[in-house]
Amino acid sequence: MRILFKNGTLVSGQASQQADLLVEDGVILEAAPGIDAAADEVVDASGLLILPGGVDCHVHLDLPMFGTVSSDDHYTGGKAAAFGGTTTVIDFVPQDEGSLRENIDRLLEKAAKCPIDYGFHMNITRFDADVAAEIPRLPEYGVTSLKVFTAYNDRLRLEDGDIFKVMRIAGKHGILSMVHAENGDIIDVLVDEALAAGHTEPIWHARTRPAWGEVEASLRAIAIGAQAGAPVYLVHMNVAGEVDQLAYGRGRGQSVMGETCPQYLFFSEEELQREDGAKWICSPPMRTKPDQVRLWEGLANGTIQVLATDHCPFYYDGTTPIEYDGEMVAIPGKELGEGDFSKIPNGLPGVGDRLPVFWTAAVGSGRLSPNRFVELTAENPARIFGLYPQKGCLEPGSDADLVLWDPQKQVRYGQKLAQQRTDYNLYEGFELQGWPVAVYSRGKCLVKDGEWLGKAGQGKFLHRKQGQIL
């Protein structure tokens, strides 16, 4: 099957050019001006940009939490991603009972219905001799990154000594260590004190997770990585001081990288004081407008390498069903924490919102170029997580993951337009300019003019190689 895309503007992380794109059997065959070749289908991309499909390297699909489960599974989350122009996601393997291999196999079974391509990171939340012996085998399993936590005591956190041991093993075997950086000890003290004082409102989620805890924990993570001889990747950065610590580490030659997420660029802890403030609860929490400014600076000047989402949606009111794919669906959600902020499921929708919302605010405002947009949302995550050049670019030999992007199309955004399986959208009423009008995964059209053409199980598991340090 040959498809010829004519008259579009190809946008990479380095340059933009008027060119055609020839795709054969799901792979890019040629990218050049004026391609004259026979094709089974010709797509006129006049007036459109052709972007590489987005790579969201931080999602949580079908994740159990607080007696419920994140409301997007691998089918609905993959579908939502595609509608927003993202064609690859990387999920996290929980470390439950059994070996790392057994945990990966369980998630592979759940993820088999994903309509877009997907990969995995491995959470390391329990460390012993057996785990130490198996971590070097992760690349055999196609998993070349792992995640550790400095928070969530008695659930996910490892002590610093064990984090050091994990990082040292990972560094020796070409595995990237990702870190959730907060101070779990201080959080526990402050949560207990807040509840004892009767402070139960959503705003106390932010007030019991101080920004300084993230600043301290991020530097600690960088320092542990330096001592372990291991590269480090900071997830969901949301505080100005974290950007400063990332710059500090990078400026001293340490192999450290980081991501932020759209919610931290657009919202502050003021949202948690709204009547529906539970909608904005995630960990780490929203911060302040000065923090937003510093995050934007980090994205623009290269201190921050990636825009991901930490997509982990829950219903606002899980007692009321919503219609999804013709069925009425209700999943317990944030109402579980009514009257106690510490029981509100931590997480937000975002996988489908990322590209359209960020384009308007970043490219439409003149803050960033279209090329930097592609770097942050597709090319850099593909490079860092061992998928480049299969993903994240428009080069011959790459998968034909393409987004036909109309930079002039205007939409009023919100829950009715987004395809995430939840009952609200953080960006309700946002006026956007720039929209994915067609999305292809390995040459197969998943979305065209708002119509879903994809199928469950159409995606494939990506056996990742060692990534690059940017």
Asked if residue 359 is part of any domain, the answer here is: no
Cα–Cα distance between 230 and 225 in angstroms, integer? 5
Please tell me what DSSP assigns to residue 141.
G
- As a whole number, mean pLDDT of residues 453-462 equals 98
pLDDT confidence tier of residue 137, bands split at 50, 70 and 90: very high
Range of the domain at 35: 2-52+372-452
Q: What pLDDT is stored for residue 158 in this prediction? A: 97
Q: What pLDDT is stored for residue 385 in this prediction? A: 98
How many domains would you assign to the chain? Answer: 2
Copy the structure tokens of residue 186.
């201080």
Exposure letters 303-335 (e unless 16+ CB within 10 A, then b): bbbbbbbbbbbbbebbeeebebeeeebebbbbb
Which CATH number covers residue 39?
Answer: 2.30.40.10
- As a whole number, mean pLDDT of residues 31-45 equals 96
Q: Are residues 33 and 64 in the same domain?
A: no
What are 157-176's pLDDT values in tens digits?
999 999 999 999 999 999 99
Q: What pLDDT is stored for residue 266 in this prediction? A: 98
For 102, 125, 314, 412, 470, the CA distances from 223, given in Å and listed in that order, are: 32, 20, 35, 45, 18
Q: Are residues 29 and 86 in the same domain?
A: no
* 394 Cβ contact list (under 8 Å, min separation 6): 10, 12, 21, 28, 31, 50, 52, 402
| Residue whose structure tokens are 């803050």 | 367
| Residue whose structure tokens are 């937000």 | 348
Q: Are residues 331 and 396 in the same domain?
A: no
Asked if residue 177 is part of any domain, the answer here is: yes
Asked if residue 463 is part of any domain, the answer here is: no
Q: Are residues 217 and 346 in the same domain?
A: yes
What are 262-315's pLDDT values in tens digits?
999 999 999 999 999 999 999 999 999 999 999 999 999 999 999 999 999 999
What are 351-383's pLDDT values in tens digits?
999 999 999 999 999 999 999 999 999 999 999
Q: Are residues 302 and 213 in the same domain?
A: yes
pLDDT confidence tier of residue 122, bands split at 50, 70 and 90: very high
Q: What pLDDT is stored for residue 279 in this prediction? A: 98
Q: Are residues 252 and 394 in the same domain?
A: no
Amino acid at 449: D
Are the CB atoms for 443 and 27 separated by under 8 Å?
Answer: yes
- As a whole number, mean pLDDT of residues 340-352 equals 97
Q: Are residues 306 and 431 in the same domain?
A: no
3-state secondary structure of 271: helix
Domain's final residue, options 304, 321, 353: 353
Q: What pLDDT is stored for residue 48 in this prediction? A: 98
Q: What pLDDT is stored for residue 403 in this prediction? A: 98
| 6 exposure class (CB count in 10 Å sphere: 0-12, 13-18, 19+) | middle
3-state secondary structure of 117: strand
Asked if residue 314 is part of any domain, the answer here is: yes
pLDDT confidence tier of residue 236, bands split at 50, 70 and 90: very high
Q: Are residues 31 and 98 in the same domain?
A: no
Are the CB atoms for 325 and 81 separated by under 8 Å?
Answer: no
Q: Are residues 45 and 66 in the same domain?
A: no
Copy the structure tokens of residue 154.
């008695």
Averaged confidence pLDDT in the chain: 97
Q: Are residues 256 and 401 in the same domain?
A: no
pLDDT confidence tier of residue 144, bands split at 50, 70 and 90: very high
What are 422-443's pLDDT values in tens digits?
999 999 999 999 999 999 999 9
Asked if residue 305 is part of any domain, the answer here is: yes
pLDDT confidence tier of residue 83, bands split at 50, 70 and 90: very high
Q: What pLDDT is stored for residue 439 in this prediction? A: 98
Which CATH number covers residue 104?
Answer: 3.20.20.140
Domain's final residue, options 299, 320, 353: 353
Q: What pLDDT is stored for residue 212 in this prediction? A: 97
Q: Are residues 318 and 294 in the same domain?
A: yes
Taking residue 87's Cβ as centre, other Cβ atoms within 10 Å add up to 30
Cα–Cα distance between 163 and 177 in angstroms, integer? 9
Asked if residue 119 is part of any domain, the answer here is: yes
Q: What pLDDT is stored for residue 180 in this prediction? A: 98
Q: What pLDDT is stored for residue 8 in this prediction? A: 98
Q: Are residues 12 and 105 in the same domain?
A: no
Asked if residue 467 is part of any domain, the answer here is: no
Query: Where are the strands (E) in 124-255, listed by range?
Result: 145-149, 176-180, 232-237
Asked if residue 459 is part of any domain, the answer here is: no
Paired residues of 258 in beta bridges:
234
